[in-house]
Structure 1
Amino acid sequence: MVKFIRNSIFFLIPLVLLGSIPISTFYIMDPFKILHHQDEFTNSIVDYDVDYVNTERYLNLPDNYDSFIFGSSRSAYGFLISDWKTHLPDSAKPFPYSAGNESIFGIVGKIKLIDELGGKMDNVLIVIDTELTLQKLINSHGHLVIKHPRVSHESRSAFISEYLKDYIFTGFFIRYLDYKIFGKKRAYMDGYLMLDNNEIGKKFIPFDALKLEEQINADKNKYYKEKEEIFYERPKEEQVSKRLIYSSVTKLLTQIKEIFDKHNTKYKIVISPMYTQVKMNSADLKILNKIFENNVYDYSGKNAITEDKYNFYESMHFRKDIGKQIMEEIY
């Protein structure tokens, strides 16, 4: 029996040591920059959760901002702060509070956070993606989209656990440590590490439209030729989204409006032009207009913007000049 126990221990020791590698490197190396305070986020071989980055940036300097754009990556690619600022008072201090795959849960959480901190909210632009933004009423899962704990009001330990889970069980740690030790790019690292980023160390700018514009301006034909398969053929008949706004969503939207009223916020709600050309359900649009007093501008469905593929970077994001055009129309 003693011999069996001794052999079992000798067998288990290497397994325990091996199992401790991903956990210990996660906490020691902090690859996602979530375990320690960051004064600023710079480009890394590891992609960031934009929700976390933007929330940390706001928390670092909450008094520096009084105007916000909320929405998914479309709000950031399409509506540049520099363009929005031309429609705001000269004293306005705008902040791009976007997040990957943003949801109504995330938007409400951010607006409540600003309010709880006593921050100003003089001007707001909310960008809603048909079929997407109003679907998610709970926190997102996955280390690239989970909400900052101050936004979700969930525990920090649960937030960190989501990262640790992905770090270990997706095999991320193997690729990360391989590159850190040997400094050599391997094919199996694609999709996990940002090894083609030639701006490591520079300030991290999420959803950088200007980079894509540079590529288009350099050779527009080449840019769109390489993305031919992405721009799939859409249905000839306009599709309409299913209804999404029922009591739970209405409650969240009403909470937003109440906070806007409290802050005397000047706001606009834009329904994104989407390459899918799916039209927002008329019942949902009616409720939005009722809650937000007709400050809602619908660019969904088939229209001059969505018909032209050259108005998009790919099938997910409209170009910054389209956002500029929309702002000129609604302000």
Structure 2
Amino acid sequence: MKRFIQTIFLFSFPVIAIIGAFVYLDLFEIIWHYDNYYSSSNCVGTNRGYITTMVYKNNKEKYKFDSFIFGNSRSRSYTEAEWKNYIAKSSVYYHYDESGGSVSGIYHKIKFVDNCGGKLRNVLLVIDPELLSNYEQDGHLFIIPPQICNYENVITFYKEHLIAFTNFNFLRAYIDYKISGKYKDYMGDFIIEYVNSENKNDHRHNYTDPINSETFRFEQDSLIRNGKYYTKERIAVFKNVQHPDSIYPNYIDNKRAELLEGIRMLFDKHHTNYKIVISPLYNQIRINPKDLEFLNRTFGKANVFDFSGKNKWNIDYHNYYEQSHYRPNVANEVMKIVYSR
């Protein structure tokens, strides 16, 4: 019996050690509570949807947010300073985005604000066909936070993060970065490429506001201003990705339609002043006419603005950080068009 117990302990010890390290280190910031989820000490890529949810929970009672920008990472180019030119100055802004983005994720975030007793006075919803293609997403960076879906996926959520934690490529990248202090291309989404400062006035690094989750790409923008950002390697990612004669498939099926109609009903409930922006992606591919027609019918044509396809911004790669994300100058012009009506 004693030998049996020793054998069980011998084989279970590595598992216990891994889970212990996963919980103690909490590299993905999903175990413990943090007053600031955007600490400069954290170099690990985290689930942005989870982080923005926890920051909202931390601050909602004190700041009474009533105006939200929802979307995927492309929405981060839309800033409070510019948006406040078009909505009431008394509005209290929160940037509630997620990485990748899915129809389900956006719906549950809006529903979460409603469930928390929050107001939806103004909403800028930034979407694109790639977001519409995702009903839900897998993987630790993209899975919906359990807090906003009644904890229905809580086991899967932590399982995905534990799998990522034990991934050899992640451990290799994390250890390498901790030792060298340098981001390398192979590290991908595991490690954050640019340092996040805890001081908004430190424009050498990027900054994410610990209260409203707004992100500022100071480091990249500084490199662009100084003519050092668009290296040969960065220019190379823009090649052969434009297809101006192409159209995305029809993504909005019954289950997506139900969630989008649910979003509209929440907007109606709160008498929300809302606008839907279909992002100007660099690939120049147009949204499917059936999807556009559904959005126009559901949210009202006056509230939907389609910037997909070829336009004045995506003919010049200088308007983009890379092939996926456009810069704030584009977002500012988009807002001016949207609210000029």
Distance 1:134 1:147, change over 3 A: same
Supply the distance in 1 between the matched residues of 2:338 and 2:186 (Cα, whole angstroms): 44
Supply the distance in 2 between the matched residues of 1:275 and 1:188 (Cα, whole angstroms): 22
Q: Secondary structure at the match of 1:228?
A: helix
Q: Which of 237, 260, 263 pairs up with 1:256? A: 263
Alignment partner, residue 75 of structure 1: 75
Q: Higher Cα Rg: structure 1 or 2? A: 1
1:104-124 Cα shifts (integer Å, max 9, x gaps): 111100010011111000000
Q: Secondary structure at the match of 1:223?
A: coil
2:247 and 2:285 in contact (8 A); partners too: yes
Matched, 1:304 2:312: yes
Q: CA RMSD in A?
A: 2.8
1:109-151 Cα shifts (integer Å, max 9, x gaps): 0010011111000000111112x1112223x221111221122
Matched, 1:56 2:46: no
* Counterparts of residues 3-42 of structure 1 (less than 5 Å): 6=3, 14-41=10-37, 42=39
CA displacement at 1:208 relative to structure 2: 3.5
CA displacement at 1:176 relative to structure 2: 4.5
Supply the distance in 2 between the matched residues of 1:188 and 1:16 (Cα, whole angstroms): 35
1:185 and 1:195 in contact (8 A); partners too: no
Distance 1:25 1:208, change over 3 A: same
Matched, 1:213 2:213: no
Matched, 1:244 2:261: no
* Counterparts of residues 183-198 of structure 1 (less than 5 Å): 183=179, 190-191=187-188, 194=191, 198=195
CA displacement at 1:184 relative to structure 2: 5.2
Q: Which of 292, 310, 321 pairs up with 2:299? A: 292
Supply the distance in 2 between the matched residues of 1:236 and 1:159 (Cα, whole angstroms): 36
* Counterparts of residues 123-138 of structure 1 (less than 5 Å): 123-130=122-129, 132-138=130-136
2:45 and 2:192 in contact (8 A); partners too: no
Alignment partner, residue 101 of structure 2: 102
Bigger mean CA deviation after superposition, 171-180 or 89-98: 171-180
Supply the distance in 1 between the matched residues of 2:185 and 2:114 (Cα, whole angstroms): 44
1:139-177 Cα shifts (integer Å, max 9, x gaps): x22111122112233243332222112112445346646
Q: Percent identity?
A: 33
2:194 and 2:219 in contact (8 A); partners too: no
* Structure with bigger RCO (C-alpha 8 Å, 6+ apart): 1
Alignment partner, residue 223 of structure 1: 230
2:238 and 2:322 in contact (8 A); partners too: yes
TM normalised by structure 1 equals 0.87
Supply the distance in 1 between the matched residues of 2:288 and 2:33 (Cα, whole angstroms): 43
The residue type equivalent to 2:304 in the other structure is V
TM normalised by structure 2 equals 0.84
Supply the distance in 2 between the matched residues of 1:46 and 1:223 (Cα, whole angstroms): 25
Supply the distance in 1 between the matched residues of 2:254 and 2:153 (Cα, whole angstroms): 27
Distance 1:280 1:193, change over 3 A: closer
Alignment partner, residue 148 of structure 1: 145
1:274 and 1:301 in contact (8 A); partners too: yes
1:106 and 1:152 in contact (8 A); partners too: no
1:170-193 Cα shifts (integer Å, max 9, x gaps): 45346646877xx45697983476
